[in-house]
Structure 1
């Protein structure tokens, strides 16, 4: 492999995109969306002392959302699009190796996804002006966001090398990304509701102030509860969960997360708790107890971001390796109807 050849192929790929008016329109639409999101984010977090941290977290999550929505279209036909246009064979007979072509296409796809992050930089800066965001949160969240951009681009380029038709490869890329984003949430929800257990709960009398009288049991009730604690691992590979779970969480004095990263992390970590661990107002010897804060729940549960990121890397790497083998020349077999030159 040659870094020079990789750079040439990436530059050619990007030059084709820069010549398209639609590319600039897309970035312009993205900027308009970010303006609206930033304004609304300031309205959402205007009540607190950590406005900047909240706005920053929303902007980063919005960039990730736009990347998973747009990147499959831009990378899902990187290889088979050139094959369909009869330009891939012309490159394959040059000094560029299969690795040069694959990595050059990937570099261009990553740069395309990174363009959205570049457009979002002013909005990230505006959010940080509000104060409250720690440098560690800034560093980790950007690193994870860049990793997710690379993974989504890798999946798109890989499927474009594995599937002969550009339309099908783009659609398949969307399905794979949707599986990570939406499929994990659906599997979590349906799995938790399908696996249920019976719970018996004691009922207490309450005084005028609304606090339970723990010494007075008025009866018991039995009901079924979903066991999300048995299927919470399905969320580990979700890109938004990986981003939130990996980013360090800052809290208010009361122990509540100050930004969207912490709020998503709190929701996922809460799902790890079994029904037997749920809060009971009279579960202590001294009587009435306070509900645990989000900080206490997060501190008592385990992170999963490295597992989810590992699953994504294995998935993207496996597809990319298959596409590498499929693109290698000379090819022994090709799909029926594949145009070579």
Structure 2
């Protein structure tokens, strides 16, 4: 499938640089499978869902995975994107031409890593020295890995450490936030519960590959980076019980959706899952595990816009995004939301 089918004109000033305050004050475009688009706000979500539905959140926690260091006289930047061992992380490296196998990069203070095993995608394995847990090293030397579309316009600051975590963040390991859940507050969760709408969590450690542009001309030539995820048996059983009772599984975010679909068989049964997934969803995919999706607005030609087009239809999503752009919706990680109900 040609990638340019998923292109559209997005004014750069529509990419949000800060989230809405309060979080659930963000706008939400409701996109039904048929009928008119509806402008709403996230705080109105309880009225848009049905009693017996369940929302599925990703409880991953973003780690300070952006590092700045030096190898000799060369400035080296690294964005960790996938853990490969107790002290080894795969990383995308800036100024990678100055890095060679066996080089030691000093990320200071007291944080060094040896580069090895360069991947086909240009990434490097970084083996962190010492006995301290790598998480402590990153807390000391790293900073929040904001998407390049935001970081290129302003520096990361202390406010991002709070803004770029969801209220469900519990399992450290992501290098990008599951941003659809950034809109949720305890009061909204309470309102949903009062309306008979349940929620549960799974874990998918989002990698920096989510930021990478699609450089291929055809979707068949694009390679997704693997990400680690887990759905435990109790969660799988609960999701299956909701469906059996006539409720809908609504994924909050494309990360939750991708893991649920990875864990669901052709029979529509969600099974426990523990491992890597590199699922790539494009139009023509038959959804098995989810009945709806709440997600932010994505960038042109991105794998995420391809995913929502697979769920709702490319023509439908092009029309929805044209409406969003015309009516001032804010895009991407800190932007507004959409509720997609095929």
| TM-score computed with the length of structure 2 as normaliser | 0.31
Q: Which has a greater percent of helix? A: 1
Q: Which structure has the larger Rg?
A: 1
Greater length-normalized contact order (CA 8 Å, ≥ 6 residues apart): 2
Higher strand share: 2
